Structure 1
Amino acid sequence: MNDFTKNMAQALFNQDKINDLLRKELQQAVNGLLEAELTAFLGYDPYARAVWNTGNSCNGAYFRKVDTQFGQIEIKVPRDRNGEFHQHTMPDYKRHTDVLEQTVIKLYSKGVTTREIADLIEKMYGGYYSPAMVSNISKEMIPKVEAYHQRHLSDKFFCVYLDIPLKRVTYEREAVYIAIGIKPNGHKEVIDYCIAPTENIEIWSEMLKGFKSRGLEQVELFLSDGVVGMKEAICQSYPKAHFQRCLVHVMRNISAKMLFDDRQKALDEFKQIHTQSNKEMAVQVLHEFYQNWEKPTKT
């Protein structure tokens, strides 16, 4: 267990790092919606020749900061030269909007149909624009959604973390599946994510097969919670990969079996196992943990 391995694993166990990845994805999606809204308003793509005789055109942008459940994002609000464009993606003067997050997550959910995307866009903009303009905004976003879930993946990741870090308590009871990978050079990437009512091993299996078909040939290590069938699903697509139960979920299970007064001490000792500089020392600390906390056998 060298420093590189420890650093890679710790990067995945840190919820703040996961939120940072999701924050970047959300920021990109919001800015994409704003660009699509201006394009639909003007009636032509930026820098298209059609702009020459319209009397209006793009005219830079200004920036706003908005708080989300994943952290603060910076949005780039485009402007037109005549000052006639008024965006409706973001509510005026509000620093936080749950509706926007739900809409963007929906837009980027795997398997969402073009009709569903159009319906969501219509809910966002229908009160401001004509049906034709709402349709144009939808057409701008649909290729981006499809391209994200069909893009070619890197051929190798050092490790891939599979989890459901977000469960939205809505009338639809949706869970967000996410796969976060770390490349051999240390770069972190959201490989893909999708929406489903509950955690289901068939969905994880479908995602893993999709990774393989899109170019991801080799993964050294998969980390996940204890969902039944996960190890077998991974073996079907990546038989040479190693599998490890997520330490966060292991610690939760340990905590649930401990007396309240013992929990913190036991968890602190458990964490020491994974901070050792080599395998031999880690095994030694593990056995000491067993000796201190293993339930006595009845005689």
Structure 2
Amino acid sequence: MEVELPDSLTDAFLKQLKTGEELQAFLRNLHKRGLEKILEGELDAHLGYDKHEKTPSSNARNGTQKKVIKTEFGETPIEVPRDRESSFDPILVPKRSRYSTGVENLIVSLYSKGMSVSDIEQEIKEIYQFELSTSAISRVTERVIEDTIAWQNRPLDPVYLVVWMDGIVFKVRESSKVVNKTVYLAIGLNREGRKEVLGMWLGKNESSSFWMGVLT
């Protein structure tokens, strides 16, 4: 069944997208999600065992603590995992700091399709710049991969009234250099009038053939 949209609805949809406010909110929330998973991986490495493994020592996970940090996407409330002995001090968000480490865009890009396991692991190495051991990097990578797969495979509506597609360019640090990375997004307007990011893809250049591959 063909659905005819009021001009006011489509105009408002495109206007809101162009202002960037809703896109900024999406990026902020995705960064929050990724950062929290990375911090969980840091705690796994600190304790020496994964979440569902039997505790080999007296120290253990002890819930989370709310913290508001300042990022490129604005102030962001996050849940920082804690340990029973209070000996865990996250590298990315130290206990007495309210600032992120300038890797917001890099964390967001981890959720893009087109990233292999080795790609994600390499990006995480770039985030930490030799501050974590190889085994610790592996634990963080496991946490991130589990969540990126869950996000990429989350259920979507069968029909969207409008789909908007575009690319955003991130400046990220890679091999001690600042490089540009383009992340392409597809954003849909559902039948209830809510906007939703349908997916993100890493690409070298934007073209009709690229989007045709995404849509098919």
| TM-score computed with the length of structure 2 as normaliser | 0.80
The unaligned stretches of length 5 or more in structure 1 are 210-299
| 2:71 equivalent in structure 1 | 68
2: CA distance, partners of 1:133 / 1:19: 31
Out of 102, 113, 129, the residue aligned to residue 116 of structure 2 is 113
- Is 1:208 the counterpart of 2:211? The answer is no
Q: Give the 3 Å change call, closer, same or farther, for CA 166–130 of structure 1 in structure 2.
A: closer
Alpha-carbon spacing, 1:127–1:16, altered in 2? closer, same or farther (3 Å) = same
Partner deviation per Cα, 1:248-287 (whole Å, 9 max, x = no partner): xxxxxxxxxxxxxxxxxxxxxxxxxxxxxxxxxxxxxxxx
Cα distance, 1:10 vs structure 2: 3.5
Q: 1:129 to 1:176 in 2, by over 3 A?
A: closer
Q: Contact 1:173–1:198 (CA<8 Å) still a contact in 2?
A: no
Query: Bigger relative contact order, structure 1 or 2, given CA contacts below 8 A and separation 6+?
Result: 2
How big is the shift at 1:102? 3.3
1:142 matched residue in structure 2: 145
Secondary structure of the corresponding residue to residue 54 of structure 2: helix
For the 8 Å contact 2:171–2:178, the answer to whether it is kept is: no
Aligned partner of 1:22 in structure 2 is 27
Q: Give the CA RMSD over aligned residues.
A: 2.6
For the residue of structure 2 that corresponds to 1:156, the secondary structure is coil
Between the aligned partners of 2:9 and 2:108, the Cα distance in structure 1 is 33
The number of aligned residues is 206
Structure-2 change in CA distance of 1:10 and 1:93 (3 Å): same
Compute the displacement of 1:82 (Å): 0.9
**Residues of 2 paired with 1:18 and 1:124: CA distance?**
23
Matched residue, 1:95 = 99
Going by fraction, where is helix more abundant, 1 or 2? 1
Pairwise mapping of residues 1-299 of structure 1 onto structure 2 (< 5 A)?
Answer: 1=6, 3-46=8-51, 48=52, 50-51=54-55, 54-90=57-93, 93=97, 95-98=99-102, 100-125=103-128, 127-168=130-171, 171-209=178-216
**What whole-Å deviation, never above 9, does each CA across 1:31-83 have from its counterpart, x for those lacking one?**
1111222123223444x3613x5311112222332333332222221110011
Q: CA deviation at 1:107?
A: 1.6
Contact 1:172–1:197, Cα closer than 8 Å, also in 2: no
The TM-score, its normalising length taken from structure 1, stands at 0.60
Tell me: CA distance 1:83–1:119, structure 2 relative to 1, closer, same or farther (3 Å).
same
Aligned AA (1:132): S
Q: 1:161 to 1:128 in 2, by over 3 A?
A: same
Q: Shift of residue 191 of structure 1?
A: 0.9
**2:97 maps to amino acid:** Y
